[in-house]
Amino acid sequence: MLRPEDVEQVVKNGGSNRRPGARAAGFKPGDKVRARNLNPVGHTRLPRYVRGKVGVIQHDHGVFVFPDTHAHGLGDKPQHVYSVRFDAQELWGENDRGPGAVYIDLWDDYLESPNEGEPAVKLEPALKRKPTSKSARKPKPAAKRKPEAKRKSAAMRAKPSRKRK
Amino acid sequence: MGKNHNAPESEPALRVKALEALLVEKGLVDPLTLDRLVDTYETKVGPKNGAKVVARAWVDPAYKKRLLANATEAIAELGFSGMQGEDMVAVENTPKVHNLIVCTLCSCYPWTTLGLPPVWYKSAPYRSRAVSDPRGVLREFGLELAPNVEIRVWDSSAEVRYMVLPERPKGTEHMSEAQLAELVTRDSMIGVTQVTLDSNSASQT
């Protein structure tokens, strides 16, 4: 329990969740990343509006306690936290609101390489089995994804940052 | 406030009282500790700290360089380190880039330099619209930016706390560091307004 006489010291010194010691970083500044589409039941600091979106690592802040495990008493699981830049158009779709971006701090476990999600679609057996229609089929996945992204961002706009649900 | 017998206390106020009573009863918190914490952030730590940081950066290019490279250490030089300021980043406004701070998940805020967050900063509309429509939000704060200015929104979703280094207004070349600090407002360090020659006279709630 925090005692009244210790308030001054605690306020002055704080308590960083930074953890010393080297740990392997999954990414480096300049890397393209995709925020994973995680939907945990419990605590997370991965806002819904960036899930599945592609951004670029701007800066490595160092190693910090991982809230998703720490909040549930499952350990510190320290890992790198990065400042990731997401273009406004990537998050909210085409708009005429001028240039902009959201910079958000994300833990290693929230991120994946943007190509990681792709193979599942590209290696679809149905696509491989019918090579005759490859020229007609190829543009399809890209065309298909677009409206979905738009629909999503419209829904996001109403409440972009709910932690639960 | 509190003297009006007709108005019952708000739901959150009652819930906080109930929670505090429970925590005290169970011996988990000392009410005196809470009083000291509240007093510290109501009377001792506030946006005047951040204003001093900004004014120093405006008059001292070497300090500004240190602030933008490692804000935690540069702010500590002026004695403003501590809780909710352990890992700080300062972002600079320029004629081409405007920065805005938000915490979409809750209400993370740089206590050591700005004190406690204003009520609107914690509200759901600000938290959701600051990221999706920052230009619209700024317009509602009375700030119309040129269409080619890039808006960078900093979502303090992790452990890093952000503050904006606003642009120094024109016509302040003759002013001292202390006079400059008087001009710097809390809102300009969140990024919802700019610093102007009369910005300090505007009321802040």
Kindly determine whether residue B149 and residue A98, on different chains, have CB atoms separated by under 8 Å.
yes
> Please, which pLDDT band fits residue A155 given cuts at 50, 70 and 90?
very low
Residue A11 has pLDDT above 70, yes or no: yes
Of A15, A100, A158, the CB nearest to B150: A100
Which of 71-110 (B) contact A at CB < 8 A?
81-87, 89, 104-105
Burial of B2 (0-12, 13-18, 19+ CB in 10 A): exposed
* Residue A12: predicted pLDDT: 85
* Residue B84: predicted pLDDT: 85
* Residue A161: predicted pLDDT: 44
Residue A82 has pLDDT above 80, yes or no: yes
Taking CA–CA distances from B131, the nearest residue in chain A reads A102
User: SS3 of B100, please?
Assistant: strand
- Look up residue B202 and give its DSSP letter: S
Instruction: Report the C-alpha gap between A126 and A112 in whole angstroms.
Output: 26
Residue A135 has pLDDT above 50, yes or no: no
> Please, which pLDDT band fits residue A138 given cuts at 50, 70 and 90?
very low
* Residue A126: predicted pLDDT: 53
* Residue A147: predicted pLDDT: 47
Of B32, B155, B160, the CB nearest to A61: B160
Kindly determine whether residue B132 and residue A156, on different chains, have CB atoms separated by under 8 Å.
yes
> Please, which pLDDT band fits residue B94 given cuts at 50, 70 and 90?
very high
Residue B155 with chain A: CB contacts under 8 Å: 47, 102-105
- Look up residue B164 and give its DSSP letter: E
> Please, which pLDDT band fits residue A118 given cuts at 50, 70 and 90?
low
* Residue A150: predicted pLDDT: 44
Element (H, E) at B7: none
Kindly determine whether residue B81 and residue A92, on different chains, have CB atoms separated by under 8 Å.
no
Q: Model confidence over B159-202: pLDDT tens digits?
A: 999 999 999 999 999 999 999 999 999 999 999 999 999 876 55
Residue type, B92: E
Kindly determine whether residue A105 and residue B27, on different chains, have CB atoms separated by under 8 Å.
no
* Buried/exposed code over B186-204 (b: 16+ C-beta within 10 A; e: otherwise): bbbbbbbbbbbeebeeeee
**DSSP for B128-162, written as a single string:** HHHHH-HHHHHHHTT----TTSEEEEEE--SS-EE
- Hey, of B159, B162, B163, which one would you mutate to test binding to chain A, going by the most A CBs within 10 A of its CB? B159
pLDDT: is B200 or A16 the higher one? A16
In the 3-class helix/strand/coil scheme, how is chain A assigned residue by residue?
A: CCCHHHHHHHHHHCCCCECCCCCCCCCCCCCEEEECCCCCCCCCCCCHHHCCCEEEEEEEEEEECCHHHHCCCCCCCCEEEEEEEEEHHHHHCCCCCCCEEEEEEEEHHHEECCCCCCHHHHCCHHHHHCHHHHHHHCCHHHHHHHHHHHHHHHHHHHCCCCCCC
> Please, which pLDDT band fits residue A110 given cuts at 50, 70 and 90?
very high
Closest Cα in chain B, distance from residue A25 (Å) = 17
| Block residue for tokens 């592609």 | A54
Taking CA–CA distances from B158, the nearest residue in chain A reads A105
ipTM of the complex model: 0.88
Burial of B34 (0-12, 13-18, 19+ CB in 10 A): middle
* Residue B205: predicted pLDDT: 47
Residue A103 with chain B: CB contacts under 8 Å: 152-155
For residue B110 the two structure tokens come to 């740089």
Percentage of chain B lying above the pLDDT 90 cut: 82
Taking CA–CA distances from B129, the nearest residue in chain A reads A157
* Buried/exposed code over A24-38 (b: 16+ C-beta within 10 A; e: otherwise): ebbbeeebebbbbee
Lowest mean pLDDT, pick from A47-51, A73-77, B60-64: A73-77
Q: Model confidence over B102-121: pLDDT tens digits?
A: 999 999 999 999 999 999 99
Residue A43 has pLDDT above 80, yes or no: yes
CA A38 to chain centre: 9
pLDDT: is A129 or B79 the higher one? B79
Please identify every residue of B annotated as catalytic: 103, 106-108
* Residue A117: predicted pLDDT: 54
Lowest mean pLDDT, pick from A9-13, B71-75, B185-189: A9-13
Residues of A engaging B, defined by a Cβ cutoff of 8 Å: 1-4, 6-8, 10-18, 45-47, 49, 61, 64, 81, 83, 88, 91-92, 97-107, 156-161, 163
| Block residue for tokens 């809470």 | B34
* Residue A142: predicted pLDDT: 45
